[in-house]
């Protein structure tokens, strides 16, 4: 029997068939979309996995002005790059190892140290460690040994974390090495944490093998003493050690007691728990160390305050008025848009360093603050005096650096060292020559501080040193222009004519060479009918510069041609010979002049005590004029001091200068009855800015500067603590909460009734 489908049944079947077809088509269409999504997910997973590179540049970072910053944006190092914190930590550790290599390169290139293998008799296939030493280790009378703490740090570092986050100046040892070298010390930089290596002897198995002579930090220290310090000529040794480095010092003193007692005159420690480490050695060792070892520890007392002693060392405070975290949170650290940057109107490097030190450790004595305020007010009221002081200060170079170069007893005798000493001695003479002018200007002042500083400049020893220098140095200006050749000519004629016959003979030969070069200059100018001038560079030697577009034919004796913009530089065979002749004469003159200068320095060295007072005087004068210039230009007022703090219409000093809009003035009032203030408000309303403003104005007032307000009265505080923002720290294993609790605990343990505490959220 045949069954006939109705129309409705047929339509239903067609709809089912169409639905199945559409379903299949949808699955086909969805498949590539899902594949795309899957591929995107895989790409995101790849981006969230750390890829190890072999250089900082491939990570997008480099060291610029001593700080690790992004190559593209100049922003500091960023930890949170991946969503997975484990991958962030892997990236951080890899970058840390690359920072180690960068520091090693800087020790060799910048500090001019050489890498020495430990052990010294290592075989080719043997794994080794290394240290860094200066090239005068065998001959120098003075030696500094630097020992870092435990952990991941390597040679040349105090803290890898500080190098990455704050820069080389704070986290590395290079500043200490530079100062030691400038003072004539040989240097040994130890590497106590490189103790072992991983040996893969069997498939899928590895063993940790110690490095001979460096299996522990203590063994490394003793090996360095036996093979490097003991054979050296140094009779005066000082040691600088951080944290666990103190234990290494104890071990060296224990094994080499007699030699240690005879040759080591000072040991400086920082944050080293010597009470724990001292239990390992005998009492006679501790007694010997106690006479020459000081341990500086973090404390709320002023820097260098005596905190007592223990069995093996004296203890002193390394504490500062403003703790390190607060200095960054409140904007004290040097950098753009900081309190340091808005006050940086100093004219000398010494003044800048003194300003930085005062920001980190303001005054707490009211009389001393008034003393400075009177000097600032004197300069603000007397514009002529301030202009004279500022103009004279521009002639002062870094006196501190000059003194360090002059007090070396066993200096290097190379041409480069001779050039440096000749330049320094001439700078010293010019500084002493201009001192009477500064003294005359300060005699017009009415403030007691400026008058006292003026009396320091009247020390008769300055004139004695100047007379000794003028007896042998040229007082006339030989060359008025600047440049490479002018600097060489000034060095050539540094010593008075007639003082040394050999020197006069060599200088006469130099004049002949210069005359020959000038003759060639005139000859080529007439030949080409174009302006021609000669110059001297370190790479080309003497060359002739043809000024303008040159389209003529050069003579056959031209050996090199270079074009720069519209000028053509040519060197002939005769000029090349004259360059060689000039260089030989110049080197001989520098070495001969250096011998005379070393004798001269020996004569003035007994009178050099006054120069340290000069550094202090110039630094304070420069800082005071900086305060005066900033206060006058930005309409600051002189603050008063009393039992309460009350500021009317106070302005944030940084926003007042750098802000895009004029800051809103706020009133601040703190007193005994109202010593806790709770600041509330919506997000982005300026609560944190208001808190920072209080701390910055307090510091401005206590360093002796005027403040941005209509009226101001402050209560003197002895410490400033702040907790404005805290982050988790995977390096130390602290969460955000743990970090905040530790910071609050530190504040509670250290605060006093005279503390200013700022807490944000």
Contact 284, 250 (CB under 8 A): no
Instruction: Select from 443, 233, 415, 323 the least CA-distant residue to 743.
Output: 323
Task: Find residue 144's DSSP bridge partners.
Answer: 187, 238
Instruction: Select from 353, 337, 340 the least CA-distant residue to 699.
Output: 340
Q: Residue 205 class from Cβ within 10 Å (0-12 exposed, 13-18 middle, 19+ buried)?
A: exposed
| Cα–Cα distance measured from residue 671 to residue 374, given in angstroms and rounded to the nearest whole number | 26
One-character DSSP codes across 283-320: HHHHHHHHTTEEEEE--SSPTT-EEEE-SS-EEEE---
DSSP E strands in 491-611: the ranges are 532-537, 541-547, 558-564, 567-572
Phi-psi region of 704 (alpha: psi -120 to 50; beta: other; left: phi over 0): left
> Which residue blocks in 333-414 are alpha helix, DSSP H?
339-343, 349-360, 366-381, 383-393, 399-406
Q: Tally Cβ neighbours within 10 Å of residue 601.
A: 22
| Cα–Cα distance measured from residue 386 to residue 380, given in angstroms and rounded to the nearest whole number | 7
Sequence-distant (≥ 6) Cβ neighbours of residue 394 within 8 angstroms: 347
| Cα–Cα distance measured from residue 163 to residue 175, given in angstroms and rounded to the nearest whole number | 13
| Cα–Cα distance measured from residue 388 to residue 22, given in angstroms and rounded to the nearest whole number | 92
Instruction: Select from 317, 261, 251, 252 the least CA-distant residue to 290.
Output: 261
Burial 556-587 (b: 16+ CB within 10 A, else e): eeeeeeeeeeeebbbbbeebbebbebbbebbe
Burial 286-309 (b: 16+ CB within 10 A, else e): bebbbebbbbbbebbeeeeeebee
Catalytic residue, chosen from 159, 243, 447, 543, is 243
Identify whether 735 is a catalytic site residue: no
Catalytic residues: 243
């Amino acid at each position: 029997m045949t069954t006939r489908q109705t129309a409705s049944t047929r339509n239903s079947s067609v709809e089912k068939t169409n639905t199945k077809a559409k379903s299949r088509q949808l699955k086909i269409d969805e498949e590539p979309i899902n594949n795309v999504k899957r591929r995107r997910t895989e790409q995101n997973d790849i981006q969230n996995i750390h890829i190890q590179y072999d250089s900082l540049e491939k990570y997008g970072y480099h060291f610029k002005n001593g700080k690790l910053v992004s190559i593209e944006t100049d922003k500091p190092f960023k930890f949170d790059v991946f969503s997975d914190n484990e991958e962030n930590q892997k990236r951080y550790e890899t970058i840390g190892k690359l920072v180690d290599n960068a520091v090693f390169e800087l020790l060799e290139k910048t500090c001019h140290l050489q890498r020495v293998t430990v052990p010294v008799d290592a075989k080719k296939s043997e794994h080794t460690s290394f240290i860094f030493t200066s090239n005068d280790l065998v001959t120098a009378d003075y030696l500094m040994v630097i020992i870092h703490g435990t952990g991941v740090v390597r040679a040349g570092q105090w803290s890898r974390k500080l190098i990455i986050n704050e820069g080389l100046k704070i986290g590395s040892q290079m500043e200490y090495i530079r100062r030691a070298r400038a003072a004539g010390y040989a240097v040994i930089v130890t590497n106590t944490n490189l103790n072992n290596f991983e040996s893969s002897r069997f498939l899928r198995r590895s063993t940790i093998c110690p490095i001979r002579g460096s299996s522990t930090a203590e063994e490394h220290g003793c090996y360095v003493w036996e093979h490097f310090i003991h054979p050296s000529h140094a009779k005066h040794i000082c040691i600088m050690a951080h944290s666990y480095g103190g234990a290494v010092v104890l071990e060296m003193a224990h094994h080499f007691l007699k030699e240690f007692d005879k040759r080591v005159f000072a040991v400086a420690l920082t944050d080293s728990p010597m009470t724990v480490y001292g239990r390992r050695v005998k009492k006679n060792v501790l007694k010997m160390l106690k006479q020459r070892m000081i341990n500086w520890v973090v404390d709320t007392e002023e820097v260098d305050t005596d905190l007592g002693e223990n069995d093996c060392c004296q203890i002193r405070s390394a504490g500062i008025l403003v703790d390190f975290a607060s200095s960054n949170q409140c904007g004290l650290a040097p950098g753009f848009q900081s309190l340091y940057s808005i006050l940086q109107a100093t004219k000398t490097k010494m003044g800048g360093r003194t300003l930085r030190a005062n920001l980190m450790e303001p005054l707490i004595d009211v009389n001393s603050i008034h003393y400075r305020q009177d000097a600032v007010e004197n300069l603000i009221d007397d514009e002529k005096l301030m202009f004279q002081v500022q103009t004279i200060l521009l002639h002062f170079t870094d006196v501190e650096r000059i003194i360090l170069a002059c007090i070396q007893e066993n200096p290097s005798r190379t041409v480069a060292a001779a050039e440096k000493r000749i330049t320094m001695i001439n700078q010293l003479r010019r500084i002493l020559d201009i001192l009477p002018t500064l003294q005359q200007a300060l005699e017009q002042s009415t403030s007691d501080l400026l008058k006292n500083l003026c009396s320091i400049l009247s020390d008769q020893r300055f004139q004695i040193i100047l007379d000794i220098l003028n007896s042998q140095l040229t007082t006339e200006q030989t060359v008025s222009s600047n440049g490479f050749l002018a600097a060489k000519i000034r060095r050539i004629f540094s010593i008075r004519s007639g003082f040394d016959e050999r020197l006069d003979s060599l200088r006469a030969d130099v004049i002949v060479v210069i005359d020959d070069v000038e003759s060639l200059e005139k000859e080529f100018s007439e030949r080409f009918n174009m302006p021609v001038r000669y110059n001297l560079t370190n790479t080309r030697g003497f060359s002739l510069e043809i000024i303008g577009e040159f389209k003529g034919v050069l003579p056959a004796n031209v050996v090199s041609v270079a074009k720069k913009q519209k000028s053509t530089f040519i060197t002939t065979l005769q000029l090349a010979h004259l360059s060689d002749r000039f260089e030989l004469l110049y080197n001989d003159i520098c070495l001969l002049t250096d011998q005379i200068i070393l004798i001269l320095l020996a004569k003035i060295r007994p009178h050099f005590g006054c120069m340290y007072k000069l550094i202090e005087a110039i630094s304070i004068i420069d800082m005071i004029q900086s305060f005066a210039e900033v206060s006058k230009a930005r309409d600051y007022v002189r603050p008063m001091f009393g039992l309460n703090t009350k500021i009317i219409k106070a302005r944030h000093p940084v926003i007042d200068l750098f802000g895009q809009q004029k800051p809103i003035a706020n009133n601040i009032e703190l007193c005994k009855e109202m010593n806790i203030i709770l600041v509330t408000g919506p997000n982005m309303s300026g609560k944190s800015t208001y808190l920072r403003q209080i701390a910055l104005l307090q510091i401005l007032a206590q360093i002796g500067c005027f403040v941005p307000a209509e009226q101001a009265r402050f209560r003197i505080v002895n410490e400033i603590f702040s907790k404005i923002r805290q982050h988790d720290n995977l390096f130390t294993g602290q969460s955000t909460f743990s970090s905040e609790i530790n910071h609050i605990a530190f504040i509670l343990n250290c605060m006093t009734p005279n503390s200013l505490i700022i807490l944000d959220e």
